[in-house]
Amino acid sequence: MLESYLPIAILIGAATMLAVAMLVLSALLGRSARPRAGAKLYPYECGMPVEGSPRQRFSVRFYVVAMLFIVFDLETAFLLPWAVVYRRLGLFGLMEMFVFLGILLAGYLYAWRKGAFQW
């Protein structure tokens, strides 16, 4: 029974050895991470001085736009598989996609009417 777990144990061992080898090699061969001076000590890579508080509040519109982007991005994730098997689904699949797109269109129009896309 333990013989069936042998390939899994070998895979885990190989992955662990690879991870340790990469960490050791990067420590030995990589550059030291000592900051040089001045502008490199700022928290942003551009070296520009920080303006304002890092705890400032953002408008909720940023989050609304992000959520809308995710919703309409997922729409394309559902449309592609549907398009691949469209011929096998027939009329029923077409009607289901119209229902799905209708619900998305209603949500889009609602967000538009509420002013979610206006800056």
Q: The domain that contains 110 carries what CATH number? A: 1.20.58.1610
Query: How big is the chain, counted in residues?
Result: 119
User: What tens digit of pLDDT does each residue of 33-89 get?
Assistant: 665 555 555 566 565 666 777 677 777 788 888 888 888 888 888 888 888 888 898
Task: Tell me whether residue 1 is in a domain.
Answer: no
Task: Tell me whether residue 17 is in a domain.
Answer: no
Domain of 98 in residue numbering reads as 58-119
Task: Tell me whether residue 68 is in a domain.
Answer: yes
Query: Where do we find the tokens 């705890």?
Result: 55
Task: Tell me whether residue 44 is in a domain.
Answer: no
94 in the Ramachandran plot: left (φ > 0), alpha (ψ -120 to 50) or beta? alpha
Task: Using the predicted structure, report yes or no on whether residue 1 has a pLDDT greater than 80.
Answer: no
Task: Tell me whether residue 13 is in a domain.
Answer: no
User: What tens digit of pLDDT does each residue of 4-41 get?
Assistant: 899 999 999 999 999 999 999 998 888 766 655 555 55
**16-41: string of b/e by CB count within 10 Å (b at 16+)?**
eeeeeeeeeeeeeeeeeeeeeeeeee
> Whole-prediction pTM value?
0.48
Task: Tell me whether residue 18 is in a domain.
Answer: no
Task: Tell me whether residue 92 is in a domain.
Answer: yes
Task: Tell me whether residue 91 is in a domain.
Answer: yes
The number of folded domains in the chain is 1
Distance CA 41, CA 54 (A): 16
Which pLDDT score, from 0 to 100, does residue 98 have?
Answer: 92
